[in-house]
């Protein structure tokens, strides 16, 4: 049992300005239990009236030890943990984790699985942006947008449930392909979604894009220059809103992104409004990618035929000794990729999501490290917030689109 004690200002001396010590400015703890810190972020704010003099973000309240736990699980078991990192982007986390394994083991991924991965990850991107749009609208007080976005997100979650049996923690993308092929209802469901969604995006635009109050709350707020983005290593929509045309789907295409025709929305003002514009335009682009991928969805298997990594189909278990052995090995011990280390990287809805994986040849990864966009982007928060109002802090946190599970792995 630790005693509860009061922290004196003197103990925070190294974090705050001298004015706080004389009582001229006020120290305010925002979070970790606060409605607009998007999870459990704690901010130590030094306020002069309502103006933010300084801010210190404090993370770690959602630390779940995912990376460390991975070291004591085998590769397949660890994948289940990746769903729980960035819980708004489980498909993307699964995908980048599988990309690392595939790179390490030189596993092939069938064409159909690649196309389906693209569709699912882009759906996930839309659902993540929808949640962001809703919650950041809520942060500035536009409450209806939130519920409209949740309604549309529901359709995507239903599609995920249809393919994987789970709405959020899908673990559907597996090393060497997918868990299993999508059901027959998948294609009509996605098609009806991409028919239905553009009108909804226009509704959101009607509510916010030209709304005087929203523009007032977002234009010129939380500005960060492209140069600072590079210095802090920011990525994703935050960087693209500051004029950096950087999207890994174009720069380092994976799973056939180079074959799809889509644009990268880039804005130059670098404020909250630009980030809003980038994300909403990205939703439209994701719809374009999904449509193209659906139109040329190839047939064939959805899993690699490499039995050292991918379990054999159930039908073979009764007839093939080999299949039974592989099945037994995979389910008792797991697969053992060759010794080596790789870095796989993808564009998550929030930015550059990478996995560094080191294998010592055993069935358990020696080290798995996730390079997560929420963590990186969060560093720039004090830079964006200084000199602005406490109300802007809330709008800026929303605009960075942090997921604390992603920052605290």
Kindly tell me which residue out of 60, 65, 141, 361 binds other proteins, with binding defined by CB under 8 A: 141
Q: Residues 86-115 vs other proteins: string with x where CB under 8 A?
A: ------------------------------
Quick check: 207 binds other proteins (CB under 8 A)?
Answer: yes
Of 9, 28, 80, 339, which lies in the binding site for other proteins, with binding defined by CB under 8 A?
28
Q: Give the nearest distance from C-beta 391 to other proteins in angstroms.
A: 5
Interface with other proteins by CB under 8 A: which range of 67-75, 141-149, 312-320, 358-366?
A: 141-149
Q: What tokens does 377 get?
A: 């982007």
Q: Which stretch binds other proteins (CB under 8 A): 6-14, 28-36, 165-173, 343-351?
A: 28-36
Residue 389 lies near other proteins (rule: CB under 8 A):
yes
Among 53, 66, 140, 400, binds other proteins (CB under 8 A): 140
Name the residue nearer to other proteins (CB basis): 34 or 288: 34
142 belongs to the binding site for other proteins (CB under 8 A):
yes
Q: What is the DSSP letter of 25?
A: S
394 binds other proteins per the rule CB under 8 A: yes
Residue 355 CA: distances (Å) to CA of 49, 79, 175, 369, 404? 43, 12, 14, 6, 18
> Of the listed pieces 157-165, 234-242, 324-332, 389-397, which binds other proteins according to CB under 8 A?
389-397
Q: Smaller CB distance to other proteins: residue 146 or 309?
A: 146
- 3 state SS of 51: strand
Shortest Å, Cβ 30 to other proteins: 9
According to DSSP, residue 312 is labeled P
Whole-Å CA distances, 224 to 86, 232, 383 = 24, 10, 8
Binding range to other proteins, per CB under 8 A, among 106-114, 144-152, 345-353, 375-383: 144-152
Binding mask 221-250 for other proteins (x = CB under 8 A): ------------------------------
**24 interacts with other proteins by CB under 8 A:** no
Cβ neighbours of residue 185 under 8 Å, at least 6 residues apart? 162
Sequence-distant (6+) residues with CB within 8 A of 34 are none
Task: Considering only the stretches 3-11, 210-218, 304-312, 326-334, report the one whose residues sit in contact with other proteins under the rule CB under 8 A.
Answer: 210-218
| Region binding other proteins by CB under 8 A among candidate stretches 184-192, 208-216, 245-253, 326-334 | 208-216
Q: Are 124 and 346 in contact (CB under 8 A)?
A: no
Burial group, residue 233, by CB count within 10 angstroms (0-12, 13-18, 19+): middle
How many Å separate Cα 99 from the centre of its chain?
16
Among 151, 231, 341, 386, binds other proteins (CB under 8 A): 151
Two structure tokens written together for 322: 């080999």
Chain position carrying tokens 């606060």: 34
Task: Work out which of 17, 77, 166, 211 binds other proteins, going by CB under 8 A.
Answer: 211
392 binds other proteins (CB under 8 A): yes
- Encoded one letter per residue, x for contact with other proteins by CB under 8 A and - for no contact, window 44-63 reads ------x-------------
Interface contacts to other proteins, rule CB under 8 A: 26, 28, 34-36, 50, 137-144, 146-148, 151, 207-208, 211, 213-214, 216-217, 389-394
């Amino acid at each position: 049992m630790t005693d509860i004690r009061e922290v004196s200002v003197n103990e925070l001396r190294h974090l705050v300005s001298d004015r706080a010590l004389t009582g001229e400015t006020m120290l305010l703890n925002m979070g970790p239990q606060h409605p607009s810190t998007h999870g459990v972020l704690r901010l130590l704010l030094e306020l002069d009236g309502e103006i933010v003099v300084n801010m210190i973000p404090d993370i770690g309240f959602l630390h779940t030890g995912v990376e460390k736990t991975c070291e004591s699980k085998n590769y397949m078991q660890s994948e289940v943990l990746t769903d729980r990192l960035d819980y708004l982007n489980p498909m993307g986390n699964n995908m980048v984790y599988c990309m690392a394994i595939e790179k390490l083991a030189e596993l092939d991924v069938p064409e159909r699985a690649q196309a389906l991965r693209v569709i699912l990850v882009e759906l996930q991107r839309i659902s993540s942006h929808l949640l962001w749009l809703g919650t950041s609208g809520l942060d500035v007080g536009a409450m209806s947008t939130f519920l409209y976005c949740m309604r549309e997100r529901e359709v995507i979650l239903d599609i995920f449930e249809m393919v994987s049996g789970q709405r959020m923690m899908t673990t559907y993308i597996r090393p060497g392909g997918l868990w299993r092929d999508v059901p027959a209802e998948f294609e009509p469901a996605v098609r009806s979604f991409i028919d239905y969604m553009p009108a909804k995006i226009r509704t959101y635009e009607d509510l916010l894009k030209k709304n005087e109050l929203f523009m007032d709350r977002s234009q010129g707020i939380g500005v960060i220059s492209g140069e600072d983005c590079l210095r802090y290593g920011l990525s994703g929509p935050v960087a693209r809103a500051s004029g950096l045309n950087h999207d890994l789907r174009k720069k380092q295409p994976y799973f056939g992104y180079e074959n799809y025709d889509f644009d990268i929305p880039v804005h130059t003002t670098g404020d909250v409004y630009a980030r809003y514009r980038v994300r909403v335009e990205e939703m439209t682009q994701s719809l374009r990618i999904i449509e193209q991928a659906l139109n040329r969805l190839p047939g064939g298997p959805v899993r690699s035929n490499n039995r050292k990594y991918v379990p054999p189909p159930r039908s073979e278990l009764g007839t093939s000794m080999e299949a039974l052995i592989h099945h037994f090995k995979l389910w008792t011990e797991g697969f053992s990729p060759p010794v080596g280390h790789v870095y796989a990287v993808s564009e998550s809805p929030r930015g550059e999501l990478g996995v560094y994986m080191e294998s010592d040849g055993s069935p358990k990864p020696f080290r798995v490290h996730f390079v997560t966009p929420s963590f990186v982007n969060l560093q720039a928060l004090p830079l964006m917030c200084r000199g602005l109002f406490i109300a802007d802090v809330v709008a800026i946190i929303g605009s960075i689109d942090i997921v604390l599970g992603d920052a605290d792995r």
